[in-house]
Amino acid sequence: MRASPLLRLAGSSLSRFGLQQPQLPRLGAAGTIRPHLTTLGALEGGIRRPAISTLSTLSTSPSSSTSTSASSSSITSINKIYPTLSSRRRNLNPKTFVRNCSCARMCRHQALEGAEGSVDITQGREVLPTDFIPTHYDLTLEPNFADFTFEGTVKIDLDVKKTSKEISVNTLDITIHETALQIDGKTISPISTDYNEDIQTHKFTFDQDIQAGQTVTLAIKYKGELNDKMAGFYRSSYKDAITGETKYMATTQMEPTDARRATPCFDQPDMKSTWTVTLIADKDLTCLSNMDVKEEKDAGTGKKAVTFNKTPLMSTYLLAFVIGDLRYKETNDFRLPIRVYATPGNEQYADFSLDIAARTLTFYEKAFGVEYPLPKMDMVAIPDFSAGAMENWGLITYRVVDLLYDPKTASVDRKQRIAEVVQHELAHQWFGNLVTMDFWEGLWLNEGFATWMSWYSMNEFYPNWKVWENYVVDNLAAALNLDGLRSSHPIEVPVKRVAEINQIFDSISYAKGSSILRMVSKYLGEDVFIKGVRAYLKKHAFGNTKTTDLWAALSEASGKDVESAMATWTKKIGYPVVTVTEDGNKIHLKQNRYLKTADVKPEEDETLWPIFVGLKTKEGIDESISFSTREHTLEVKDADFYKLNADQSALYRTNYSSERLKKLGQAAQDGLLSVEDRAGLLGDAGALATSGYQKTSALLDLISGFKNESSYVVWAEISGRIGAIKATWMFKPQEERDALKKFQRDLMSPLAHKLGWEFTDADDELTQQLKSLAFNCAGLNGDPQVVAAALEMFNTWDPKTNPDVIHPNLRGTVYGIALDNAKPVGADENTAEWKKVMYAFEEGRNNDEKNVALRWLGRSKHPKDIADTLAFSLSEHVKDQDIYQPLSGVRSHREGSEELWSWFQKNYDLLIKKLPPGLSMLGSVVSMCTSNFTSNEQADAVMEFFKNKDTKGFDRALAQSMDSVAAKASWLERDSEDVKQWLKANGYLEKQEAKL
């Protein structure tokens, strides 16, 4: 999947996904509201990065809930969250200690430990017995749009591996009408049918043994719910563009474990089968599935029955079907037909993604040396979609905004996002669909590779986007950010239960996974890397693999021992900080685990990573140096200039002495460092200030030296770094916050004035992005010229009659500046500016325009505007898939952050209902509403609220949010005086004491 925009924004690029929009904290997965988001912080107006790292919120009304009826599972979850906080703060807060002593939790936890402690990580997995192995499914489904149900019949051919009386299949929210087993030409019925809700299985027991060695067919008639949860076989609604009438389509989202909502099945990636699907629907509706149509018949009752050709062997999570009133455009630029489907009228925006898809499939067939094995490729824009996109084999589904592109109304970031998402999903057709991980802890193989591959191909098609430069401030930053938290997890994480699986669609699987692959590809060379991938795909086509299978293929292609170099990187949590000391031309390196909270305990610092040093000197880059010991010494010819981690190819932070950092700052100005090096230098300095290895004043000095920088990527990193400081200082006195704004304005205004804010056809994408960023950072920090220009645009623009006055690249920033400068009104009124942005939402010409308005509405600090924005997010006007959008603006300032937490507590039950824990979106929303805090007291209030709640499904997100709050609290404790003194010494803060 591609993380949902939510996730994506949360964790990812400043650069590519819209500048300063108030975005989400980064989440986790792509496919899911993948998520995505080091510190990173926040650009103006909101944060694109993992909310987790930078945001802060104030708790004003901690729940007083004292229920004592918590279930053991909720207690277990709470305690899983706590190892970090509890041990660190036990002495500070006895209540926390009490929470960790729950007897119920201890018992449960010990049980899990027993399984996890075993050498075999597959133990404890909730998997089906292997007595029966499915080989083929014959599935017929008929949705009923009148009552939102569907009738299904499935016949599953099974190889009997072990004699048994019992067959278990996964199901969820399915009512079974009838079950029969065809065996030896006879049909028998089960004597009992039992449902286990905890592990989501129906078990059928027969009165006779079913002997091993034969093939039997299990036939089940059943009814399911065409639900509105964006999971399984679900309904999606939209307004007819012409009549305004609400219409429905039926569609699917099976990954990771929701195929069981559509049909009883063996819902595990390693149980691959072939499928024949038949859909019964009204004759005027379009029916789509993974394969092309085999035949269409009259089904009687005025409906048609559309049967599709048999699929190749595939995993259940890739099954897909769509039924609705759809139109399409087609391209024949690839050897097979490619179509983009959309609701009527919207198919006209399909050209960009059709073109990229045709070029990408051609490119991938050549790169992988394996033909795309299905007869067609359909891509469908779905109005309600929890992730960003889903790679169903032959039938990829997308959020509307991630597939359809209107060059007249879309920003440059939107275009890049679509290109990336389409290429990501197409990479999965081989990596994931043809060759599949054997269980979910191999998810990184799918997602890390699809992420790396999409950048590799974007670099091929759009060399002037310079995507690998961007990678450093996007995926690499997201990976290092999340993985710098104690509550991160190894890339290969043992997941056993369904509730754990959705939570690993995060920056570790996508961003760290792809960063590991980028590191290997640089170590082996891209050509050798692709050669190994080719061999891997050929050898395991239609099968399942483990991570070691990929390493074996790469070892064979390269002649190097890839597994021993990489195993630590995938099996261990975290990454190292390398501390550099110098003695003449000798450079001494020492590695330790990096933690953002700066409180690494000896037992957490036992991993020694194999580190590819990547030494850059005036003579070039030496890629041959590596070490996997605690300490290592190397020698350079001339110590005047050198830099480690050349082009930020490896996953580690470098901690230089302050003298060396100054010299490197100068080297950056002297043109000795690449864009990746400059962005990486700033990123490392920022992360090391956050965690106390360096003073924040040293970071501010370093940033000040970049006034003449010309690269968009480097400016995006600077903006993220200042954003992280501002987010952490969110609850400090106004004077200090104003001083930080002034600092950023001084940096960005000259650039904004020089570049201007007109866009011409001669501007390439990076120029457009730099202009947008400068306009955003100068304007939202109060540059008078930019503010005046923005207000003039805002005042002359009308979303209905004169919508093009504001350039798409500036749209959000202009809303933000107008809301920052809103004219005061009474407490019971909305500001005129807020009303106008709301009007822009109502009149938006497409989902992209509406989303920009939604994200920025919350930027207003007027209390009624804040309250109404929050209320609006839960109204019928905002789809559940977009609930997070209005929250992102609200959390971009102190006033909103406080209200956001109150709102979350008041609406908790409703949120849980709208966003079931199975969807990773809930974790993102929890993260957005809690991670803006900056003190331990605030964190305690959050945990008090969750004390007796079942946090299953978002316990990992909550733990990460609390870790990031702890990191900000300790940063403030260490450096708030240091920053104040720096601001005074540099003229941004009056020398007298700042007033509260």
Residues at the site binding Zn ion, with contacts judged by CB under 5 A: 1, 30, 447, 450
Among 29, 4, 13, smallest CA distance to 397 is for: 4
Other Cβ atoms less than 10 A from the Cβ of 55: the count is 38
Instruction: Tell me which of 126, 225, 425, 492 is the catalytic residue.
Output: 425
Nearest residue (CB) to Zn ion, 447 versus 717 = 447
- Is 877 annotated as contributing to ligand binding? no
Q: Which residues contact 17 (CB under 8 A, 6 or more apart)?
A: 5, 8, 9, 23, 48, 413, 416, 417
Distance CA 888, CA 905 (A): 17
* 141 close to 279: Cβ distance less than 8 angstroms: yes
**Min CB(458)–Zn ion separation in Å:** 15
Among 841, 893, 886, 885, smallest CA distance to 862 is for: 893
Nearest residue (CB) to Zn ion, 433 versus 648 = 433
In b/e form, how buried is each residue of 439-474, taking b as 16+ CB within 10 angstroms? bbbbbbbbbbbbbbbbbbbbbeebeebbbbbbbbbb
- Alpha-carbon Rg for the chain in angstroms: 28
Distance CA 114, CA 823 (A): 62
What angle do the packed helices 734-755 and 784-796 form, to 10 degrees? 80
Nearest residue (CB) to Zn ion, 1 versus 926 = 1
- Is 807 annotated as contributing to ligand binding? no
Q: Which residues contact 23 (CB under 8 A, 6 or more apart)?
A: 5, 9, 10, 17, 46, 47, 48, 855, 888
Q: Which two tokens stand for residue 534?
A: 């080719």
Nearest residue (CB) to Zn ion, 30 versus 566 = 30
Find tokens 């990076």 and name the residue.
Answer: 766
Nearest residue (CB) to Zn ion, 30 versus 943 = 30
Q: Which two tokens stand for residue 298?
A: 């009259």
Q: What is the DSSP string of 415-443?
A: HHHHHHHHHHHHHHTTBTTTBEESSGGGH
Find tokens 């990829």 and name the residue.
Answer: 396
**Min CB(368)–Zn ion separation in Å:** 16
**Min CB(47)–Zn ion separation in Å:** 23
At residue 981, φ and ψ (nearest 5 deg) are -65, -40
Find tokens 């950092």 and name the residue.
Answer: 661
Measured torsion, CA atoms of residues 163, 166, 169, 170, in degrees rounded to the nearest 10: -130
Between the alpha carbon of residue 590 and those of residues 242, 600, 609, 664, the distances in Å are: 66, 15, 11, 20
Distance CA 203, CA 128 (A): 10
Other Cβ atoms less than 10 A from the Cβ of 64: the count is 7
Q: Which residues contact 240 (CB under 8 A, 6 or more apart)?
A: 246, 247, 343, 344
SS3 821: coil
SS3 620: strand
Other Cβ atoms less than 10 A from the Cβ of 70: the count is 18
* 532 close to 556: Cβ distance less than 8 angstroms: yes
Cis peptide before 602 (omega within 30 of 0): no
Nearest residue (CB) to Zn ion, 1 versus 554 = 1
**Min CB(388)–Zn ion separation in Å:** 9
Distance CA 924, CA 24 (A): 8
* 637 close to 617: Cβ distance less than 8 angstroms: yes
Q: What is the DSSP letter of 993?
A: P
- Is 177 annotated as contributing to ligand binding? no
Other Cβ atoms less than 10 A from the Cβ of 65: the count is 13
Distance CA 459, CA 518 (A): 13
Amino acid (1-letter code) at residue 786: V
Nearest residue (CB) to Zn ion, 509 versus 873 = 509
3-state secondary structure 332-347: CCCCCCEEEEECCCHH
Answer yes or no: 425 catalytic: yes
Distance CA 273, CA 266 (A): 9
Q: Which two tokens stand for residue 424?
A: 């990501």
Nearest residue (CB) to Zn ion, 74 versus 392 = 392
Nearest residue (CB) to Zn ion, 506 versus 677 = 506
Distance CA 375, CA 446 (A): 22
**Min CB(272)–Zn ion separation in Å:** 19
Strand 232-239 with 274-282, pairing: unpaired
**Min CB(454)–Zn ion separation in Å:** 9
Residue set of the binding site for Zn(2+): 424, 428, 447
Q: Specify binding-site residues.
A: 424, 428, 447
| Catalytically annotated residues | 425
